Structure 1
């Protein structure tokens, strides 16, 4: 409960690091390539990575993903659906849930007379939801398309606090001479989260946890814009073998621990590869999230996040697996990520 109090008190001030669950990513195929897919994404999962890629789908598609983090304490689930409107436009909708369930609420464990009653322990959940509606359209210029996301954010901490948020993304893709280029601008309007707190519920926490007597008012979180630039090219060998090489540059307009950082912008590269055989079996690898980590002796060490993946596709059904984490390789636990994609053309 003390951690919950700390999180709620922190929410009093306007923070620029909000909705981080929306940055984890979807689709094991993309995660296996260290998320470097902005330029070439072209399926139902493009609604997340770059909505401009939705124009490449030829039939309705459905995607599912599940992953567990922090030794299965937190669960991350995703579902997406997309469909073409005509030969030049498409729409999509997706939902992400990142939550921790069955948290013990011990605020009522001890009554006013100091008696302990374990029957007074209850359970609650803390969950973040992200609903995204996407629209994409091809432009009159050959190989050029754009896409727009409208995002609704819902965050819930039991009966203690809730918030609503809204934001917009804009994506562009361009293909020329077998090269693919992509730009994804996330939270271009700065996504706002407005929090509401239940003072009566919070009073029980302050009474249960010594030293927490602050009143938590309604406050706002702001998600600052981010920019992703992508470049990729596919190579074919002897008709049966393919190699996709992709490079992304992730940019935040702040100073942090990224490998390239200034007071204006910080940049973090990501590199991914996908080796395919007869468009049936895929092996993937990537590296990204380069960070300058400050050590105890004030020196800096460069850390990075490797990723690996495997995929199978047959008759419109694709199953993918990724082995990765959500931080650097020394601080976070690796996770097994599974995803499924179904192209509705198999039913026709």
Structure 2
């Protein structure tokens, strides 16, 4: 086969006159973005501010509507919410401190059956755990609470149970209100006194003299006073470690806590309850029977002393020594609290 010479057509002159064209290298620098107007910049900033405000608002709403069970300290109380109020899903409202202080409904129902009377005072009423049950068995409940927000929650919860007409909430200090209430009714003038134009001012006994002379025999206006003072939250509970535990390491402490089912709790000193003893003395001066809802670890000796004569008053009513009965309360097999009955109560009521 003939061999084709591919370079035969190329002359030496063409090689000298040839022109080489090279393409410019592409630049890696991008074109500058188009300039935005001030109106567009302001619009983008306003949109970003709206987004930030919307996110903050959602966070606030989420914080307000977060259920209490998301708080690890309130988790066990949230799991027992139907023990506190059987109608919890009907709209019961509680604040944070009320989760620790509300009396379980089964215990409050038992206390209301024992304390059935015409008028009853519920000191430290809180959000109405006991007041609602007292309204089922008593004619009128005077609910005393020093926190106005809890007064509003009490009204709301009593409306859930349909018993708001039998509960009279009062915002104020327990001791001052108990001392301002009249213990017994005043003596009404007889027909002879009315016909003679009344007694002279010098011979007319004062209100305090009439009350002190008739309080020992007369029936008090408020037969029963119920007190459930704040215990100090869940911090009042604890476990007493055995001797020599100061040298234990963390592993040994955990093992001891895991195996100690019947561990001893520290005794609760009733003197640590702010204003409690003063409120008890004020209730004694009224001649009322008392039911005191106290921690399960309260000192037995201090509970028995609640029936002794008052040390701050020497009137005929305060000198009386009342019988004391201590009743233990358990919910689902768990010992919760104790009730101290000061005075004569029909405890056989079921």
Asked if Structure 1 and Structure 2 have the same fold, meaning a TM-score greater than 0.5 normalized by the shorter chain, the answer is no
The normalised TM-score by structure 1 is 0.29
Compare relative contact order (CA 8 Å, sep 6+) and give the higher one, 1 or 2.
1
- Structure showing greater radius of gyration is 2
Greater helix share, structure number: 2
Higher strand share: 1
